[in-house]
Structure 1
């Protein structure tokens, strides 16, 4: 008999369940974080400077999400108002060795990482005598180990504190349902602590839904998805070669299997960002025979956060809304307006792919591709939705 197919259980995402998620740019001091922040957000916030702690309070900006579907819908409807999707990004102060024990801006830095939902980790692979390295020389594997260790040490501290609090409560004993729940929670927290003490990140274990309910309120640093951004010189980025790249790939495979690695030249992105005339950027990229890494960086982070989009369309406005994949229709309606979630009745839905294939709404209706869905409908990436909701009370 052929072996039975194993049905793989869907991994529940760690982290906050909401739709308004944020990413933070993280790395050692002077690896190019603030310059990347300026390039990716096309703004002058952030403080790129050649000394540690140039950024103290995290800066926040919204990054436009590149999406051909949104562009097509705008061309199709020619609306008066256009609102693309965006991703909130924070520029967080540079980390130093010993941050977990408060060195440098350690505690503030780590609390800022706790407040974001995912991490862009910038790893320096460029040599530049003008830009000092806090550890003395360029060694990305050492840098990766420092950050990995500092985040894990801080998580151990959080988890030990949580465990201590739980033990105080379970020492009372008893057979109540509340006590049973506390004991289960205590066992989960002990398991998390054991995992961290083995030198592993929380996001790399397959936790059960019950365990995830315990993990998420702890806001652990190593539970957040990570996208590694390898900051190369302009020359190395164009030729896609650097002596450190294979070692970084090996390190990620060993310590963070499956996490995306994206080569980027922050120097090139910053230079492109200085062009003011339309078309200059494209012209320069064509001359260099390369392309900007920024669209890939933004889209990869959306994937890491398991974010998708739905659209509201018409001649008045085309708007792209961001939701976590797996969101049901009332919660998606709540992203448009909080009252819509409470008063949701139903939604009229068809998908962007259907509209593009058939050419216009009339054809979509004629082919019976417009659906009416209720509260249990899970919104799919690319859905075009009309929400029907009742009047809000009081």
Structure 2
């Protein structure tokens, strides 16, 4: 008998189990950046719905070469790309965790989003006032990390106290008692992580059972962070700034693996008001391109979001789902009936369609697959769903 293959447990994702996730923008210069980001269409053709939901929330189209190629191939009447929902949230100062400044508003807004674009100012300008008096991005990053941890500590201590009060009589080996004991142990581990170990929750190692408990806590330091370093236009174009190496070193020490993207709000403000031709000409002239597409893609990826496509002459559309989503739930993003009455999906990969050139050629090559309920969607799948009456 051949040895049984070891079953690798699929890792549960940190964060809210939803396909409709949002990213927030705190810190210096974030409102200017939000205005640029929410105005731009990132060079994508303009024949699809584009929405600013309200003054503080916008849906930003996610640039995708695959989507562009599908539109060229199918020539649809309507084209709808994937979107990243971005929110401009209240500013932060030291002491926010105890309510200083707009602290309570800031922290409630951060709790409502699923990831953070942390805008870090690394340019000097006497006309742009800094809330702390002088430019020091390391101090600013330290303040945000400290305030988020302090709020998490307060929240976790209160939650743990409540758990222990209701858990005093736990003595039996019933499933409910054992589950409560495990929950207490996990919450104690969370508290140790952010106090003794001085680590953000997202940087610790958790089992799937523990992640279920952590997700229930909705902790601020469990949310993914993408650092956006706002440079002067001159520094951005020449790719040099005295703070950049120090910021990179700080991230490597405190939150290793977090993305760092330099950009320039002042440059983006100039580019966003130009026509597409003017923008291309200006970017060639200065030898630098807009960072907005890269930033949008990084924010989308940080939330563990992927997309699949539905294609035809009427519409080419990208549907956003969370990594690890099974076929019925992916179909349900279009309509709940597709999930409830799911039969199967006819699925091909974008790579196969791109290689063979047409659906007929993909089918002839045996690359069009029928997938059932257990199938886990891959980024770039092209799907046709079949559901019962």
TM-score normalised according to structure 1 size: 0.91
Per-residue CA shift, 1:279-309, capped at 9, x if unaligned? 1111111111001111111111122111111
Q: CA separation in 1, counterparts of 2:284 and 2:369? A: 44
- 1:242 corresponds in structure 2 to 241
- 1:203 corresponds in structure 2 to 202
- Gap change, CA 1:138 and 1:84, over 3 Å in 2: same
Q: Which runs of 5+ in 2 are unaligned?
A: 1-5, 41-53
- 1:54 corresponds in structure 2 to none
Deviation at 1:188, TM superposition (A): 0.7
Q: CA separation in 2, counterparts of 1:13 and 1:7? A: 18
Deviation at 1:168, TM superposition (A): 0.9
Per-residue CA shift, 1:321-370, capped at 9, x if unaligned? 11111111001001111221111110101111111111111111111111
Q: CA separation in 2, counterparts of 1:187 and 1:325? A: 28
Q: CA separation in 2, counterparts of 1:272 and 1:390? A: 50
Per-residue CA shift, 1:52-92, capped at 9, x if unaligned? xxxxx981100000001110011111111111110100011
- 1:23 corresponds in structure 2 to 23
Q: Which runs of 5+ in 1 are unaligned?
A: 1-5, 44-56
- 1:332 corresponds in structure 2 to 330
Identify the match of residue 136 of structure 1 among 133, 138, 153: 133
Identify the match of residue 168 of structure 1 among 155, 165, 168: 165
Q: CA RMSD in A?
A: 1.6
Q: CA separation in 2, counterparts of 1:374 and 1:213? A: 27
- Does 2:101 align with 1:104? yes
1:58/1:93 contact within 8 Å kept: no
- SS at 1:70 equivalent: helix
- Does 2:342 align with 1:357? no
1:58/1:92 contact within 8 Å kept: no
- SS at 1:87 equivalent: strand
* Aligned pairs for 1:84-103 within 5 A: 84-103=81-100
Identify the match of residue 144 of structure 2 among 120, 142, 147: 147
Q: CA separation in 2, counterparts of 1:32 and 1:283? A: 27
- SS at 1:279 equivalent: helix
1:345/1:389 contact within 8 Å kept: yes
Q: How many residues align?
A: 369
TM-score normalised according to structure 2 size: 0.92
1:11/1:206 contact within 8 Å kept: no
1:85/1:321 contact within 8 Å kept: yes
- Does 2:80 align with 1:83? yes
- 2:375 corresponds in structure 1 to 377
Per-residue CA shift, 1:248-268, capped at 9, x if unaligned? 011000000000000010111
